Amino acid sequence: MIDSIDAVPLTQVSTADATAWHAVVAASLAADLPEEPCPTFEQTHARLAVTGRDNRRLLWLATEADGTVVGVAGLRLFTPEGQRHLAELELHVTPERRRSGVGSRLLATAVGAAREEGRRSLVAAAPGEGPAGAFCAARGFRRVLAFDHLLLDVAQADTTEADAEHPGYELVGWTGTVPDELAEAFASAKNAMNDMPTGDMDYGSQTWTADRVRAMAEVLADRGDLLLTIAALGKGEMAGYTEIVIRSGETGRAQQYDTAVAPAHRGHGLGLWLKAEMVRRLRAEHPGIGEVETDNAQENTHMLAVNRSLGFRFHRSTHEYQLDLRTD
């Protein structure tokens, strides 16, 4: 019964809280995405304990009368100027307690908090198949964007493009925080992501600065994650870049983060060049990594084509849902 469920806010995350959170997430993902590797407890704990520099988070545990945790919810409140209208929801309920009001209680709590914070849009991701999308649709969310998740077999990837000639451009790479002499150029290249497809999502815009790119790298380092970057320099600026993250404790799969090419440098094959060189770097420096996972908006046909040229194959889909909030 929903009356027996409390949504308990977490202001400080103890080891016991993280353990309970991880158990709920692990059970939820095992039911909804059984073929996906589950995050480790250490990864979950680090994500809860280390907050991004450009957002605040509110967390809740759904508990029964006896204290058993049967659901969790996190609300990410974006703080940059161009996204202060936006909040992002993560919500999980243990499979045996679904359809009993737990998710509804957590959602109502998160929606109320988002409204109190003056947010006009609440977004949440759901697997392309399964009950999460139906849950969102039944509660007034609109589907605003669809993503294809792709997997790359690192050993089988076609990296011949890494040998292609690109007169006027050179590749540079680093691990972790961007070198000081490249920080401003990197921030400028990061702003090229503002024209990525966002469908009907009320996404807003981001402004990257040298301090912000440093802060992003610090957050990943604080979580124990490894950030690898390769960039193309040309014509006095950074023309493009690609990023890979190997999460703390990960032994097999890396995550693709941003890949972007500045508008003035598009049409020269730089994106594929960068990504092919990154695969070679993974093979040389991290031979235990056998797969790379990426996701692209289904309408981002250019990047999907680039990834398929490298050898990425379709893995699964995710849908982004949005709830429009009235704050009056």
Pairing of strands 142-153, 313-324: antiparallel
- Residue 78 one-letter amino acid: F
The DSSP element (H or E) to which 221 belongs, if any, is helix 210-222
Residue 83, both tokens: 């996204």
Q: What angle do CA 185, 214, 210 make, to 5 degrees?
A: 35
Q: Is 88 exposed, middle or buried (0-12, 13-18, 19+ CB in 10 A)?
A: buried
β-bridge mates for residue 77, sequence order: 56, 87
Q: Which of 188, 178, 174, 166 shows the shortest CA–CA distance to 234?
A: 166
d(CA 90, CA 110): 10
d(CA 71, CA 109): 12
Q: Which of 173, 134, 128, 50 shows the shortest CA–CA distance to 295?
A: 128
End-to-end alpha carbon distance in the chain? 31
pLDDT (tens place) for every residue of the chain, 328 residues total: 456 889 999 999 999 999 999 999 999 999 999 999 999 999 999 999 998 889 999 999 999 999 999 999 999 999 999 999 999 999 999 999 999 999 999 999 999 999 999 999 999 999 998 899 999 999 999 999 999 999 999 999 999 999 999 999 999 999 999 999 999 999 999 998 888 889 999 999 999 999 999 999 999 999 999 999 999 999 889 999 999 999 999 989 999 999 999 999 999 999 999 999 999 999 999 999 999 999 999 999 999 999 999 999 999 999 999 999 975 5
User: Side by side, which strands form the sheet with 142-153?
Assistant: 6-10, 55-63, 69-78, 86-93, 121-127, 313-324, 142-153, 291-297, 253-261, 237-246, 226-234, 169-175
Diameter over CA atoms, the chain: 67
Pairing of strands 253-261, 121-127: unpaired
Residue 159, both tokens: 């990296």
β-bridge mates for residue 125, sequence order: 320
Half-sphere exposure for 138 (CA within 13 Å, toward CB)? 9
Residue 261: helix, strand or coil by DSSP? Answer: strand
pTM, to two decimals: 0.94
